[in-house]
Amino acid sequence: MQVSATRCGRRAQAVARPERARRLPMRRAPRHNAIQAVTVTLVAMLMTIPSIRAAEEVFNYDESEVRRYTLPDPLAGPDGAPAAAPEAWRTIARPHQRALVEANVYGRGLPAVPVHVVGDVERADVTLAGDVAATRLQARLRLGAAEDAPTTDVLLYLPRGARAVACFLCLNFRGNQAQHPDPGIRLASGWIPDDPKAGIADNRSTEASRGGTAQRWPVETMLGRGFGMATAYSGDTFPDRRDGRAASALASLGRPVAGDIPADEPGAIATWAWQLSRILDWLVTLPEIDETKVAVVGHSRLGKAALFAGALDERFAMVVSNESGCGGAALSRRNYGESVKRITSVFPHWFCPAFATFAGRETELPCDQHTLLALVAPRPLYVASAVDDRWADPRGEFLAAVAAEPAWKLFGRRGLGTAEWPAPDAPVGDTIGYHVRSGPHELLAYDWERFADHADRHLRGRAAPEPDGYPAFAPVQHPLPVPPPSGAIVLVGPDAATTAGAAFTSMAGGPIDWRGEHDTLVVAPSKQHANHIVSKALFRDADIHAEFMVSPEAKGNSGLYLHGHYEMQIYDSCGVAPVTDQDEGSLYRFAKPIVNAALPAGEWQVYDIRFTAPRRDPSGAIVRPGRVTAWLNGRMVQNGLTFTEPRSPYTPYKHGVTEHLRAIERRLVATGEGPLFLQDHGSPTRYRNVWIKPLGR
């Protein structure tokens, strides 16, 4: 089995391709753009003939071109009369609306089967990044009584010592090991879509795949808020490929897997929804889980599955869709972004065959996706979108949530409570929650924090923590150099010598002696490794961007000293395995990087860091830990890592200290504001395009 290697020839994990990367050109392209048509055609040539036909379709991204439509009444019963009371909804309208969704979109819901643990449940107490104390459970579940019934491997993290906690359950795309870098997680053993750059070789997981999608599963943050986190690989029950039906769980349930498939026969989404319910069967037997507080979550195609699971299985206490788009939370009648024609041509195995017959005639569907959302009522629902994910029609997802609100009103509850699409990163709603996050099609910590806020209010009956009010952190790292955003303080600009000379001081407070070469600033190494430079700009919390190139000399050792206390390491770590908390991407002495994203010496690299400083009381004691999230070369290397007092013995305030630095540290303790240091550690590391954007001002 081959493992991906970087250009430096050592084993490493390269930049992962997101599941929907091939769609991005279509999201970004304007209507009737010739480049879009070429891009779509080239991608579709890799597909089969139906996909090529789908690629000829023109995708609309202009709101003024969205056709007029009328939505079916989500409260209507078989005779068309709307339910006027909860009992009529439960006994008449809801069963009717569910039948419409099953018959026309996803196929009939699959039956429950006995669930058994194969072997023993593996329990282990582990300490995760940020010194988070957790208990890790891993269990293989057999879904059915027969010996050849399908199995699924479930990974569950709990706050150590917890009892009866609320828990989030989601499926994943590449196996449990890709969700977190914990080396104790079992490698997925089944078929996975091939992606050598993500450590998936010959359709099998490898050690290089560990933590590859960890940005989507911020375990430490959620455990810190008191939630359990459970996941399983979707391919355990239906491999995500056109011919996946034959290898799916459907045969074990007596469903046809070949030949003429009936129009209402379930596909992958219905099977994944069934998998989620079978995992729930096991979760509710655990004393550590509150069986009344399990929320189901899904991203993208797995968001469609989460919605269908929540609609069919009312044991799910809360339902969350993240950017599920066409065939998920977005209205099919809106001709915006992905269409029914395109999705059923490229992914015919996801839905029941009947759904494809509505391609080009979506207005004739007897239901729409607001119907699916309404089936969650009166339980809490959360729908999340992303600004740059036009392919998923963010406004269409919001409008579906608006149109579903009457189902909650039947129970005397507010749904969204607004019909006005909110600004980015400004959540709205009540029992139905919604936000449109700035950034691309992805599932990030910002999204999870909002889901947790919703669960706090509606499952745990408590006020959610006060949010910091900062925008979502979804940095752009390609192509380089990345232009500074509005409001940024540029420390190293196009004329490096001039901008850096004005923006930094030496350790003693005087001029710096680092060399400027056009747009590049070069470290001037000292024998004492203490010729750091100190920004004049001070900040408390900030987004920090730095482009750099390591040298083979002295292992390229340098770093970004945040407030002079916490070092994001710069080091020639390309291909190093296993990585440590001294390698590039680490917060030195606190946590190793989630993945090794370092590039070879001599290539430009980029850090983007969201730094939230620790909060201190008047005596200087930390009363709230700091937090850091960092992206390196397009991959997340720290995900909301918490930290307290500095651990490095080499901080500038201890090593090479001057009166100038003592004054800076006194102000730091008093105000919480400090500088950015660029570190000298004996190597002529090169910097360019360095800027800080203070937060909270």
**Active site members:** 300, 441
Q: What is the dihedral of CA 190, 195, 199, 204, to 10 degrees?
A: 20
Q: Round to whole Å and give the CA distance between 572 and 6.
A: 13
β-partners of residue 124 are: 136
User: Residues 422, 73, 353, 312: is their CA dihedral positive or negative?
Assistant: positive
Quickly list DSSP for 548-569.
Answer: EE--SGGGG-EEEEETTTEEEE
Contact indicator for 500, 494 with CB cutoff of 8 Å: no
Closest by CA to 697, choosing from 545, 563, 539, 544, is 539
- The sheet with strand 165-172 has its strands ordered as 115-128, 132-143, 151-159, 228-233, 165-172, 289-299, 318-322, 381-386, 432-437, 428-429
Helix H or strand E encompassing 200: strand 200-201
Q: What gap in Å lies between CA 513 and CA 498, rounded to an integer?
A: 12
Using CA atoms, how far apart are residues 129 and 626, in angstroms rounded to an integer?
13
User: Nearest to residue 612, comparing CAs of 569, 672, 535?
Assistant: 672
Distance between CA atoms of residues 566 and 585, nearest Å: 13
CB 313 within 8 Å of CB 277? yes
Report whether 279 contacts 152 (CB < 8 A). Answer: yes
Q: Are 582 and 603 in contact (CB under 8 A)?
A: no
383 DSSP assignment: E
DSSP secondary structure letter of residue 58: P
Q: Are 484 and 692 in contact (CB under 8 A)?
A: no
Distance CA 276, CA 270 (A): 10
Give the closest residue to 56 by CA, choosing from 357, 354, 345.
Answer: 345
Residue 691: Cβ within 10 Å count: 25
> By CB neighbour count within 10 A (0-12 exposed, 13-18 middle, 19+ buried), where does 247 fall?
middle
Q: Which residues contact 624 (CB under 8 A, 6 or more apart)?
A: 614, 615
For every residue of 68-133, DSSP letters joined together read P--PPPTTB-TTSPBP-SHHHIIIIIHHHHHHHHIIIII-SPPPP--EEEEEEEEEEEEEETTTEE
Secondary structure class of 364 (helix, strand, coil): helix
